Structure 1
Amino acid sequence: MTAAIAAEGIRKRYGDIQAVDGVSLTVESGEFYGILGPNGAGKTTTLEILEGIREADEGRVELLGESPWPRNPRLLPRIGVQFQASAFFERLTARETIRTFASLYGVGAGAADTMLDRVGLAGFGSVRAEKLSGGQAQRLSIACALVHDPELVFLDEPTTGLDPQARRNLWDLLRGINAEGRTVVLTTHYLDEAEILCDRVSVMDHGRVLRTGAPAALVRELDDKVRVSVESGVVGADALREALAAAGAGDVSVEDDGTTLSASTRTPAPVLSALAERNALRGLEVRGATLEDVFLHLTGREYRA
């Protein structure tokens, strides 16, 4: 089966800034694929090149088996694009907006209204688009990207600025889109979002892909320590250190901040056993590495404006 996206060695420069520097990636048909990276990593420029909105200086891109640049009209009905920031027509209601988008693809009003219902906006069809809440506007934006039933959907940070409830609702919608067989390419700053939704992710920085793989596989590769935490005061830090030393547990760091007693180790079994023997499991939490740890390991911890 032809890959939905195949990109090889794409580059894009703006003056002295190398925005994209030799990116190569493959997205399989039906895959939910994430592109992650800090601000300025080149995610949006990469997405725009893949979508055929921007021309690459170098490299090769195939989208659904065809070149997206020069602008390829055969691809337009087959892809849906939700931009990082969407601007709707002024004074149009949500229903009028999606019907307008649908008409551009020859899709009837009935199908447009069905999509509005699908994203949970049927009750807001008469509300002007600029009056919708942030989450509702994002849903309308995604609905406009899906109204013509595309095979491949690009979503550029679709949940930025949304409250937790709105984010979770959008996750359900995106899962449903992918479950229908559509290929979904997502950029996001929310690492938990990528970990939950994506089959594979690519971590970018400074215009390059640093690592690609399934989120769980990337976490396992990191081989980071496990953090075992309990309520402070049930057992002392010194007592736990002595117990672990007597048990021959190596490379364990124990800290007590007055609220939580925590032990970091790659072999948590002796820690759990020592705590259980002392009836000190109250408030137990065992936390392994996450995709966020992988991200910070690859891209660093410095603040990016």
Structure 2
Amino acid sequence: MTAIEVSGLRKAFGDKVVLDGVDLDVPAGTVFSLLGPNGAGKTTTVNVLTTLTKADAGMVRVAGHDVAAEEKAVRAAIGVTGQFAAVDELLTGQENLQLMADLNRADRRVVPELLERFDLVESARKPASTYSGGMRRKLDLAMTLVGGPRIIFLDEPTTGLDPRSRRTMWTIIRELVADGVTVFLTTQYLEEADQLADRVAVLDHGRLVAEGTPDELKRRLPGTHVRLRFSTVAELDAAARILPEATRDDEALTLRVPGDGGTKSLRALLDRLDEYSVAAEEFSVHTPDLDDVFLALTGHTTEVTTV
């Protein structure tokens, strides 16, 4: 089942082409993360998918509905949580949720359920102005869920949160996906995409330059290697003779063997050691992280991925 389907999406503002033939396919019940530097077209993509901006060309379907011809149906199926918590600070947490329930013509019985789910019961009757940043983000996401959307767009949901609050938000997102909700995520934290996303797409200058699982993208870069640690110098010497392509570290008693990180090459490496009766005390596979992938694909550091 496909939650979001995009083909040949194009958008220009005057002479500036912002999106140039973007194709996306987001399976239902997954987390899809869109990454890209400033000006790459991420915000425009999200605006088109959420019916806020009209595309110049291409086909876009969200929850099975054409965003151009069936705007109301699309809006009824989605929820959007922006970068900054859109809560009314004069109202309590409970009142914010009740207001959203009334606007969505939803049953108010969903309010206590969401307060409990997001651990906001104790603060439910306190003004939102007294909430911490993490509590406001949780309340904002709870308000998005009042209408029971099956697709949620999260724009940098953990910006400004402390590590503990960020991980709490990650847990909530995973629970939503476990319930069958699809999450379209933009984030400035590549660790967040690595932790949460089933698939990642990298957008640069209006074009998709890569798409795949986080592990698939990381395996594209050179630098993947197997690290072997030995108990004695003699074992290290023996392994170094067997693996002349490896880089050794005498102080750590390790060899760094280049490879692709796949099971086939790893099995061949261990079989090679076993053939000469050499055993490593431990081994680990090291791959480039998404920061390395992002820099290699776009030429930018992650410090400019906030838009």
Q: Distance in 2 between matches of 1:101 and 1:73?
A: 17
Where does structure 1 lack aligned partners over 5 or more consecutive residues?
A: none
Change (3 A) 1:261 1:160: farther
Give the letter aligned to residue 225 of structure 2: V
Q: Sequence identity of aligned pairs in percent?
A: 38
Aligned positions of 1:277-296 closer than 5 A: 287-296=286-295
Q: Distance in 2 between matches of 1:125 and 1:79?
A: 25
Contact 2:240-2:255 within 8 A present in 1 as well: no
Query: Aligned residue for 2:241?
Result: 246
Change (3 A) 1:53 1:70: farther
Contact 2:294-2:302 within 8 A present in 1 as well: no
What displacement does 1:299 show?
2.0
How many residues align? The count is 293
Which stretch shows the higher mean deviation, 120-129 or 98-107?
A: 120-129
Task: State the secondary structure of the residue aligned to 2:109.
Answer: helix
Q: Distance in 1 between matches of 2:18 and 2:202?
A: 15
Q: Distance in 1 between matches of 2:296 and 2:13?
A: 28
Where does structure 2 lack aligned partners over 5 or more consecutive residues?
A: 260-264
Contact 1:82-1:142 within 8 A present in 2 as well: yes
Contact 1:84-1:158 within 8 A present in 2 as well: yes
Where do 4+ consecutive residues of structure 1 move more than 6 Å?
A: 258-262, 277-281
Task: State the secondary structure of the residue aligned to 1:193.
Answer: helix
2:143 matched to 1:144? yes
TM-score normalized by structure 2?
0.80
2:88 matched to 1:95? no
Contact 1:52-1:70 within 8 A present in 2 as well: no
Give the letter aligned to residue 123 of structure 2: F
TM-score normalized by structure 1?
0.81
Query: Aligned residue for 2:31?
Result: 32
Q: Distance in 2 between matches of 1:23 and 1:304?
A: 24
Q: Distance in 2 between matches of 1:26 and 1:61?
A: 10
What displacement does 1:166 show?
0.9
Change (3 A) 1:57 1:304: farther
Query: Aligned residue for 1:265?
Result: 258
Q: Distance in 1 between matches of 2:161 and 2:255?
A: 33
Q: Distance in 2 between matches of 1:39 and 1:259?
A: 41
Computed over aligned residues only, the root mean square deviation of the Cα atoms, in angstroms, reads 3.3
